[in-house]
Structure 1
Amino acid sequence: MIRDLYSQGLNISEISERTGYDRKTVRKYLQLKTLPEPQKRPPRPSKLDLYKPYLLEKINEKHYTAARLFREIQKMGFDGGETIVKDFVRKVRPKQGVPAVLRYETKPGVQAQVDWGELGTVEVDGKLKKLFCFSMILGYSRMRYVEFTLSIDTPTLIQCHLNAFEYFGGFTQEILYDNMKQVVIKRALKSSDSEWNSQFEDFFKCFGFIPRLCRPYRPQTKGKIENTVGYVNRDFFLGRRFTSLEDLNGQVNRWLERVNSIVHGTTYQIPLERFKEENLSPLGQVPPYKVVHKETRKVSRDCYISFLGNKYSVPYRLKNCRTSDL
């Protein structure tokens, strides 16, 4: 500033009056060839300093959410706020390009969205089996339901729906899906013209909700599902210890109690509070639905089939046939 004023034609006395510096100081700065670098203040100690090595290790190891890391260091004694943790994670985590997604809002009770994905393998009864995650989110309130399964067949999908309906106490007018084979056999330009999986068609017609399908190869048209399975993986499943599938689902139910009770990042409201406005279709208007598991068995020459270690007789006309509808 002193040199700027001097370049404007002001003399040392005038600069001294304008800036408040004495004339000796003004003269000294004008005679310097280069201005001295301002001294950097040493960084102030932070409550987070003690936990930064642990956070860096976790960030480099796996894609934990900042919210989960905050909960973990809280258990270790951290008494600061969540914002400082999120700011630190955002600063050190490599940025990844994310394509823009158009989000749209639906009215209460109108739409839910389903996501079903694989989360790797787990050991069950001494054998490695694939683990799957079913998720349903209500479009208006963002209330979530999550369940882990060892199968992705249609009966399992239907049972997960029934469990979700029970959890919410009802169901929406329509449900949006990817083009999964458990739901649709042949996708048409209009969802309503598609060839549905017969078992799933029986289910949605019984309940009276309308299945909607994402545009092919454009799962982001879901708008609100927000990669729920990926979120469950990062915020709940990674590093999780459990003794059985039942234990894992018990733990995720407790996790749901928490995530449904905190402010949602898109609506800036608590899902549990908005849920009071959902006005879902009540379960009482639908008769109890029985999930049927179909399995194929070959009929022996003496007209018997084997199922779960027992033999059952069948009509003679089915001899040497394969049947799944008995």
Structure 2
Amino acid sequence: MRRDVANQINLLREEFGLLNKSELARRFNCDRRTVDRYISNLGNETRKPRESKSKLDQFKEIVIDKVDNYGSKSMAVFKFIQKKGYDGGYQTVNNFIKKHRKSEVKKATIRFDTSPGLQAQVDWKESIKMISKHGEVFEINIFLMVLGYSRLKFLKLTTNRTQETLFECLFEGFRYYQGVPKEILFDNMSTVVDRSNTTFKNISINKVFKYFSMDAGFEVITCRPYRPETKGKVEALAKLVDRLTPYNGEFDTFDELESIVKSFNEDINNEISQATNEIPKLRYEKEKEYLNPLPTMDVLLSYFHHEKQYKVSNESMIRYKGKKYSVPTGYIGCYLTVSQIDTELYIYFNQDLIVCHQISDKILHYKKDHAKDILLSDALRHYSDEDVELFIEQNLRNMDIFLEE
């Protein structure tokens, strides 16, 4: 744009009002249509603001470094750059840091709220006290994982927050989601972060946790600094407190309390989320195809499942979590290992699977063949096979025993 033409047109118009476009075109040696365009745009042209240099400009990189990497506060940064030669005011520094932080929070929030299958967020609701019908106080923790796009949540009741428990919760969460998000956002928890080698923004991930994430197929993201407090997560944590408190005095055992939490989990996944205004369960249908496939789960099991040995009693049973499970009589006196997956208990001798039991509320769990062998070897050793079969049908099935074929 010819500034001389625009400026002269502006001056002439102010002085004489109406302008002769042909005369102006001859005077400025340009086309009449150029003059016409300039006159038409006169008054509509927006002048670009003149860029003014700030005393802070040459110190901005230092400010961002100290704020992002070390969590320095505005006054501390102000005093520091004063020694580097900054002679501006504190308010300039403070306003710049506020604007920078706001920008970073916005970026982080946008990242969390977009892209199906991209991210999940993990946190704990710690040290919740629940009281049973009998006045027994249970101090529990609730693990929470929420998918960023659908807001589908996975909750698990735990008695501690150790790294092995975290591994187990993530393992079960992946199975619940039928896949693995590409990245998971964690708080600055000691089970994830190596705090001795960590600064405010330069986070060092715990080695064991890093290996777990690689085997599971997700990237570890830590949310310091500029932690986005997304609505879905905050909403779920608030509901945990509000909606579990009425169950005080309403349950008998830890298992019953665990069932209450599982039921609550399903409830919130079938209610409209305040963050998306959609039902997480339905929105998840759009997200699940974008999740990474489930890894080889046996590999992940090794991070938290340390095999405890259980001695087989003279009854040819092992005791697991207060209940008894039968094994073949040939293993009496041997030490066996177990693995619980959902409601099934797998019992091994060395690496060989001996039997799989269905877990129930019953105290005694028998396989029919095991019960027959046990009775023949002891109480009914003088009976025929047919008599033992009849005894099992008439007696064991009527007792408080879980009997499987």
Task: Give me the TM-score of the superposition, normalised by structure 1.
Answer: 0.52
The reply to whether residue 121 of structure 1 matches residue 136 of structure 2 is: no
Q: Quote the residue 1:185 is aligned against.
A: 194
The residue matched to 1:254 in structure 2 has which SS?
A: helix
Q: Quote the residue 2:23 is aligned against.
A: none
1:277 offset after TM fit, Å? 1.6
One-letter amino acid matched to 1:237? L
The residue matched to 1:249 in structure 2 has which SS?
A: helix
CA distance 1:164–1:223, change in 2 (3 Å): same
CA distance 1:200–1:129, change in 2 (3 Å): farther
CA distance 1:110–1:159, change in 2 (3 Å): same
Cα deviation code 1:180-239 (max 9, x no counterpart) = 11110233455xx522223322211211211111124x54455642253222111x3112
1:160 offset after TM fit, Å? 0.6
Counterpart contact for 2:182–2:292, Cα < 8 Å: yes
Q: Quote the residue 1:282 is aligned against.
A: 293
Counterpart contact for 1:176–1:213, Cα < 8 Å: yes
Alpha-carbon distance in 1 for matches of 2:261, 2:126: 16
CA distance 1:228–1:270, change in 2 (3 Å): closer
Cα deviation code 1:262-296 (max 9, x no counterpart) = 221221111111111212111145653123479xx
List aligned pairs for 1:160-179, cutoff 5 A: 160-179=169-188
| Of 224, 227, 230, the match for 2:238 | 230
The structure where helix makes up a greater share of residues is: 2
CA distance 1:198–1:244, change in 2 (3 Å): farther
Higher RCO, 1 or 2 (CA under 8 Å, sep at least 6)?
1
List gaps (5 residues or longer) in structure 1: 1-100, 295-326
Size of the aligned set, in residue pairs, is 190
Alpha-carbon distance in 2 for matches of 1:154, 1:117: 16
Alpha-carbon distance in 2 for matches of 1:117, 1:259: 16
Alpha-carbon distance in 1 for matches of 2:259, 2:207: 32
Task: Give me the TM-score of the superposition, normalised by structure 2.
Answer: 0.42
Highest CA radius of gyration, 1 or 2?
A: 2
One-letter amino acid matched to 1:115? D
One-letter amino acid matched to 2:173? A
The reply to whether residue 243 of structure 1 matches residue 252 of structure 2 is: yes
The residue matched to 1:195 in structure 2 has which SS?
A: coil
Percent identity, please.
30
Q: Quote the residue 2:303 is aligned against.
A: 291
Q: Quote the residue 2:378 is aligned against.
A: none
Alpha-carbon distance in 2 for matches of 1:155, 1:264: 31
Counterpart contact for 1:143–1:271, Cα < 8 Å: yes
1:259 offset after TM fit, Å? 1.7
1:256 offset after TM fit, Å? 2.1
Counterpart contact for 2:167–2:304, Cα < 8 Å: no
Q: Quote the residue 1:253 is aligned against.
A: 262
CA distance 1:149–1:107, change in 2 (3 Å): same
Cα deviation code 1:145-168 (max 9, x no counterpart) = 111111011100111111111111
Counterpart contact for 2:180–2:217, Cα < 8 Å: no
Alpha-carbon distance in 1 for matches of 2:168, 2:296: 18
List aligned pairs for 1:210-221, cutoff 5 A: 210-216=219-225, 219-221=227-229
| Of 101, 106, 119, the match for 1:111 | 119
